[in-house]
Structure 1
Amino acid sequence: MLIFPETRFDFCGDEYIYAEISKEMRIESNFKVISITNELRKRNIPGMVEIYPSNASYLIRYDPNVISSHHLLDYLQEIDQQKSDRSELHFSSRIIEIPVWYDDTITKKTTEKYQHQQPEAGGNDFTYVMKQNGFSDKDTFISAHSSWPYFITSLGFQPGMAWGFPLGAPQDKIIQAPKYKSPRAHTPREALGLGGAFTVVYPTASTGSYQLIGISAVPVYNLNQTLSIFRDSIFLAKPGDLWKYRPVTEAEYYNIREEVQKRTYEYKVKPIQFSAEQYDEQGSEYIRQLMEGF
């Protein structure tokens, strides 16, 4: 049952209001964050400059010369009350397929340089995560990780990086892993990382601390907007999207990479309407219904 604690609002300097839906990370809180921030964009309130949704909170930047902080707070509290009703937690979304070469040689070369982080797995992040989650068979692990879609809760750390939480998976079946004790100096572009219960795709080469278990064959960040899906944004992810990871072989990975380079690759996308109320009532069965035909 969706029950929310009272939202805490704080003024941050002269230009920001911070709203905390809940102290702990709950996927239900994120449904509310996305519903509220979508509603704020629709209203296009004069003086509101930027909206920053996060896992269980959001931040609003405003122009105090156009709207007073207390006037804006009235808007936020009114919308917050409306979105505390689970029937109001619904929004347009997309299921997007991300082809992934799991246990690849590219990220493996990187992780071998950090063997001291998990010596029991020989510096291999993929093997380490398998063992951490009780798997002994590679294919079984890959199937388990790629079985459920990952709900994009927020973007951050670097441009285009999106946090995905496995939606519909039973609590005791969610694959998790600790982050590195100290960050890597290098992470390959499009590496697939796992930290806690969240899976991410690193948009560009960067530092990083998530366990690397594969590599995406397609970009999630396209500065030059050379692929059609990036026509409206240089970022693939939007909060509320569902990413479905599809395991591919090494040969398939390089074939897709060639299509991307030729600008002929078409992402597999299914537009959906997501209802938190239906998810609350039906759980994994609702996710299966959304995934039908995909």
Structure 2
Amino acid sequence: MLIFPETKFDFCGDEYIYAEISTEMRIESNFKSISITNELRKRNIPGMIEVYPSNASYLIRYDPTAISPHHLLDYLQEIDQQKSHRSELHFSSRIIEIPVWYNDKITKNTIERYQHLQPEAGGDDFIHVMRANGFTEADAFIAAHSSPPYFITSLGFKPGTAWGFPLGVPQNKIIQAPKYPSPRSYTPGEALGIGGAFTVVYPTESTGSYQLIGISAVPVYDPGQNLSLFRDSFFLAKPGDLWKYRPITEAEYYNIREEVEKRTYEYKVKAIEFSVEQYDEKGDHYISQLMEGF
């Protein structure tokens, strides 16, 4: 049974209210954050400008000339009470397939350039993460990482960066990795990285400190909106989405890249309704039900 601590609200300057659902990262807190921020968007409260969901909190920006901060706080507290019941934690979502070339040559070239930043990895992030999680065979590690869907908890760092947390995996089986002690000055666009328990796809070339274990064949950021799934947004991810990584070969990677360049690639997507109550009761069995036919 889900039990949430009392949400802590703070005024930040003259235009923001910060809500802290919990002090630690719990996936249940993120479910609540997404449910609340979705509800706030639906209500379209006059004077509310922007809503920023995060892992275990959310931030509201408002116009103090249009709404009293104390009146807005009343709204937030009322919605927070409503969304403290697991039966109220549900939202529309999507499962999106991300084809990934694991243990690829592209990110390996980058890793070798920065091996001085973490000598203990021996210039190979993939092997470093694999061994740190008790795997001795690459295929077994890839299967373990690509099996669960990854719940998109929040967006940030750079436009299009989405943090994914694995669902339906026992806590002691979640693949985790420390970040680089000092960040790289370069990371290839679409590189797949792990930091802590989170997996991300770097949307563009950038700095970075996550361990690189592969590369996505498809973009997660499309400012030109060249592919059909980006018609409504430059960003592939929305908080509450589930990403499913599919291992592919080097040949498949370049075939898909060609489709992307020709603007003919179609993402595999499944619309779902995510119920936190069902997830709380059934766990990995519920995730398996959601993934049926995908």
TM-score normalised over the length of structure 2: 0.99
**Is residue 2:28 matched to residue 1:6?**
no
Distance across 2 between alignment mates of 1:106 and 1:5: 45
| CA deviations over 1:89-136 (Å, ceiling 9, x no partner) | 000000000000000000000001121233343211001001100111
Partner of 2:204: 204
Distance 2:221 2:188 in 1: 14
User: Does 1:284 pair with 2:250?
Assistant: no
1:272 paired residue number: 272
Aligned AA (1:181):
P
Query: How many pairs does the alignment contain?
Result: 294
Looking at structure 1, the residues matched to 121 and 74 of structure 2 have their Cα atoms a distance apart, in angstroms, of 54
Asked if 1:256 corresponds to 2:256, the answer is yes
Deviations 1:134-166 (A, max 9, x none): 111000000000000000000000000000000
Q: What residue is the counterpart of 2:147 in the other structure?
A: 147
Counterpart Cα distance in 1 of 2:75 and 2:26: 24
Any conservation in 2 of the 1:101–1:253 contact (CA below 8 Å)?
yes
- 2:54 equivalent to 1:54: yes
Q: Aligned partner of 2:18: which letter?
A: Y
Give the percent of matched residue pairs that are identical in Structure 1 and Structure 2. 83
Secondary structure at 1:251 match in 2: helix
Contact persistence 1:118–1:128 (CA under 8 A): no
Is residue 169 from structure 1 mapped to residue 169 from structure 2 by the alignment?
yes
> Cα RMSD between the aligned structures?
0.6
Alignment of 1:1-294 (within 5 A): 1-294=1-294
Distance 1:203 1:154 in 2: 14
Q: Could you tell me how far apart the structure 2 residues matched to 1:213 and 1:36 are?
A: 34
Displacement of 1:272 in angstroms is: 0.2
Superimposed CA distance per residue, residues 173-230 of structure 1 (whole angstroms, 9 cap, x where no aligned partner):
1000000000000000000000000000000000000000000000000001010000
Counterpart amino acid of 2:104?
A: D
Letter in 1 for 2:256: I
Question: Which amino acid letter does the alignment assign opposite residue 271 of structure 2?
Answer: P
Q: What is the rounded CA distance, in whole Å, between the counterparts of 2:28 and 2:186 in structure 1?
A: 34
Amino acid at match of 1:174: I
How many angstroms apart in 1 are the aligned matches of 2:113 and 2:259?
31
| Cα displacement (A) at 1:2 | 0.6
**8 A contact 2:118–2:181 mirrored in 1:** no
Q: Which runs of 4+ in 1 moved over 3 A?
A: none
- 1:172 and 1:146 map into 2 onto residues whose CA distance is 17
Corresponding residue SS for 2:114: helix
Matching residue's letter, 1:66: A
Q: Distance in 2 between matches of 1:120 and 1:247?
A: 27
Compute the displacement of 1:236 (Å).
0.2
